[in-house]
Chains A and B, each alone.
Chain A
Amino acid sequence: MSKERIKISEDLYDIMPSDYQDLVKSATYGKEDRGWKDIGNSKELIEQHSLCAGCPESMAFRYILASLPNPEDTVMVGSTGCTSLVFPMVAVHNIHSLFGNQNAIASGLKRALSVRFPGRTKDVVVLAGDGATVDIGLDMTLQAWFRQEKFTTICFDNELYANTGGQESGLMQKGFVAKMAPVGKLFDKVRLPEIARESGCHYVVQCTVSKPSLVEKVVRNAVMIAREIGPTYLQLYTPCILEIGKNSMEGLQEMRDSEKPTERFAYKEYVSEPAKQLLAEIAAKDKEKKAAAKQLASQGA
C-alpha cells in the first residue's frame, strides 16, 4: 500500500473519526526504523482494546504492531479467542474466519498475494492464542511449516483457554488445576518450540513480553526471515492474570519471574543456517547505513 492511499479527501476530513485522522497524520507506516520507541510519540496501529485491565496481551499487541517492519504491506491473520477482540481495532488488514484454521488461511493468503503482486513484498503474520495454535489448529500449524509457507506464526501463550473462562490447554503446565483439569493437568506442557524447529521453522523464539526491545528484535527477525526463507515461530508468554489469580498490576512481574534462566519461559532461540546468514547480512547493511549516516553528520558539522 502506498501511504498516499490512507490520505483523506479535504472535503471529508472533518467528518472522519479522530483516530483515522491521527493514523494519517502520525502513524509510522513506511518509517524504516520503526519500533517500540515510537510508542508515545506517534499514532499506534492499535486503537483502544477491550482486553482486561493490565492484560500482558495488550502490551504484546502494542509492541508487535510497533515492530512490524512493513505494516503498510502486512496482512495479519487471527483466530478465535482474546486476540479476536483486539483485531477489529488494528490498523492493518486482518482476517478472522474460524477457530484454529489461522495457518491454513495464511497459507492461502500468502500464495494469493504472491500470485497477485509478483516482485512486491507482502508480509503475512499469524497471531493466535495457544488453544488455536497448539490444540484445535495444531494440524494446520505444523502442515504450514512442513510446506515451508513463508509467513510468521506468533502464539500468545497464556497456558489456558482465557476467553472461554480458563480451561486446560495443551500449553498449560502439568499439574495446574483448571476447568476441565479438575485434578490438575495430567501431561506436560507441549514443547512446541522444539516441534517447530523439527517441523522446518527457520527461526524459533520463546520468550515473555516483559522487554519491548526484545519483542521488537524477534518480531523483526521473524518477519524478515519468513519473507526471504521460510516459516518462523514466536511463542510469547502473555499470562492471563485473571485466570492465574493475579492483580492488574502484576502481569509484568509474573513475566519477569517466569523468564529466569531456570524457569519455563527462559529465553529460547533456534536459528537455521540460512536464517543466520540473512540476519548477518541485515546486520552488516544496518552497520553500513549507520556508518554512512555518521560520516554524513560529521561532514555536516
Chain B
Amino acid sequence: MADTHSVIGTKNKKGQTFTDTWKMMNEAPRTPSFYTGSEVIKEALRRASCDVMIAYPITPQSEAAALIGELFAEGYIGDYFRGESEFAVMSQCAGAAFGGARVFTTTAGPGTMRAMENFPMWSGARLPIQMIVTCRGINSPLSIQPDTLEIAYLLNTGMLVWHAETAQDFFDWILKGYMVSEEPDVHLPLALCCDGFFVTHTKDVVNLTPADMCLPPYDPYRSPVPCMDMECPPVRMMRDPFVMKSNYISYATHASWQQEVWAAVERSRKHTIKWINGLIETENTDAEVLIVSSGTAVSQGREAIRLLEDEGIRCGLVKIKSLRPWPGEEIREATKNAKHIIVPEFNVTGWLAKEIKATIPNSDRVNAGPRVCGGMTMPPEIIVSEIKNLLGMRTMSLAGRGS
C-alpha cells in the first residue's frame, strides 16, 4: 500500500527535496569538493534536516560549530544557540531530543569529559542525538592537540561510537549515522569521533551529495519510548518510583533496562553494517603482519604499508570503523592468519589494543603500539620500525625512542 504520509519527493522551505537516504547516499551523483573537515561537517548538516543544533566553543570543533550557525542563519536548521558549558549543552540536546527533535552537537576533549554525566542518560533515555567528537588532549597541563584518550571514556556509555579516518568518512557517516541511530530497534545516541586537527583542519577532496537533496525528517513517533510533547496520553509511569525502592523488582527493572540499552547497541549492528558497509575494512588479511587501528592512525598505517612494500615486506590492514557496536567477530576472522598484530594509537593508554586483546585468541600476538599522545604526530617510519623490530630486523634508531 502506498504510504500517503511520505514526504519523500516533497521540498523543504529551502527548496531541498526530501530524498530516500539510501538513494541519496548511494545513487545520487557526487561532486568532488576541496574542503576542510569543519566545512565538511557544515555541508553534511546542510543535508541532514536537523531540527536543533546547540554549540559551545572548544578547540578544535569551534569552527564547525560556528559554521553550522551560518547554516541556521540561512534557514537550514530549525533552531541553534550557544549553550553555557558542555554539561549544559548536552542537557539542552537531551531536552530537544525528548521533545522529538533531530539534534546535533559537536564537542572535544575536556568538553567531552565535562559533559560525561549526560551520555549514559542519553542512552538510557533512548535519545538518538548525534555528537561529533573532534578528539583532543584531556591531560593537564592544558593541551589542545590531537589525542584520542577521550574515546575510551565513551565506550561504556551505551552510545554508538564510530571513529572516522577521513573527511569523506565524516561526511557520509554524519548522514548515515542518523539512519542507524533513529531505527526503532536502536534509538541510541551516536558519538561520531575523529582525530582533531588532522581531520578538522586539513583540506581534502570530499565527494558531496547534491546540495538540493536532504534526509527525510526525523519521526519521533518511531521511538521505542514516548516523545515528551503531550501528543500521546500521559499515563502514570509507575506506582512507586524505583529510585525509592531497595527491593528485587527495583533492581531487576534497572538491570533489565541497562541490558536493553546494550541489546539495542547489538541490534544496531545489522543497520551499521548495511549503512557503512561493514564495521571494519580489510586489506591483505592473509599477510603475517597486520596493522589494526582506527581513525587517522589507519592513514599512517597505510603509509607504513607502502614503505614496507618497497622493502619487500608484506603487511595487511584492518580499519575499525565502529567501536560500538564492537566488531569482535570481524576482527577474529580478519586476524586469524596474523602472527603479528600492530595497533598504532594516538593515546597514552592504548585502549584500542586492550579491546583487541580481549577479543582474539592468542592475544600475545598484539603489539600495543606504537603510541603517540599529547599532539605528537605518528610518522609512518615509527610504525615501520616497530614492525621490523617484531620481525627481528635491524632498524634505524629513532630519536626519542631510546632504542
Interface segment among B97-105, B199-207, B255-263, B316-324: the answer is: B97-105
* Bound-state Cα–Cα, A94 to B52, Å: 20
What is the size category of the interface that chain B forms with chain A? 35 or more
Contact A111 B91 (CB under 8 A): no
Near A by CB (< 8 A), chain B positions 67-90 give: 78-79, 81, 83-85, 87-89
| Given A84-B243, A112-B99, also A97-B91 (CB < 8 A) | yes
| Given A88-B237, A117-B229, A122-B230, also A97-B121 (CB < 8 A) | yes
Asked if A77 is at the interface of the complex by the 8 Å CB criterion, the answer is: yes
The main secondary structure of chain A at its interface with chain B is: helix
Closest 3 CB pairs of A and B: A108-B95, A112-B99, A104-B91
| Given A88-B238, A88-B241, A93-B234, also A143-B84 (CB < 8 A) | yes
Asked if B401 is at the interface of the complex by the 8 Å CB criterion, the answer is: no
Contact A109 B99 (CB under 8 A): yes
10 chain-A/chain-B pairs, Cβ below 8 angstroms: A50-B240, A74-B230, A91-B235, A92-B230, A92-B234, A97-B98, A104-B88, A110-B95, A111-B101, A117-B229
Contact A140 B91 (CB under 8 A): yes
The contact of B244 among A85, A90, A104, A110, by CB within 8 Å, is A85
Residues of B within 8 A of A107 (CB): 83, 92, 95
Instruction: Tell me the minimal C-beta distance from A68 to chain B in angstroms.
Output: 11
Instruction: Tell me the minimal C-beta distance from A17 to chain B in angstroms.
Output: 8
Q: Footprint of A on B, CB under 8 Å?
A: 51-52, 54, 78-79, 81, 83-85, 87-89, 91-101, 103, 117-118, 121, 125, 226, 228-241, 243-244
* Bound-state Cα–Cα, A20 to B209, Å: 49
Q: Footprint of B on A, CB under 8 Å?
A: 1, 5-6, 17, 19-20, 47-48, 50, 72-75, 77, 84-85, 87-95, 97-98, 101, 104-117, 122, 139-140, 143, 147
- Report the nearest B residue to A107, measured CB to CB: B92
| Given A88-B241, A97-B121, also A112-B95 (CB < 8 A) | yes
Instruction: Tell me the minimal C-beta distance from B395 to chain A in angstroms.
Output: 51
Residues of B within 8 A of A106 (CB): 95
- Report the nearest B residue to A88, measured CB to CB: B237
Contact A20 B235 (CB under 8 A): yes
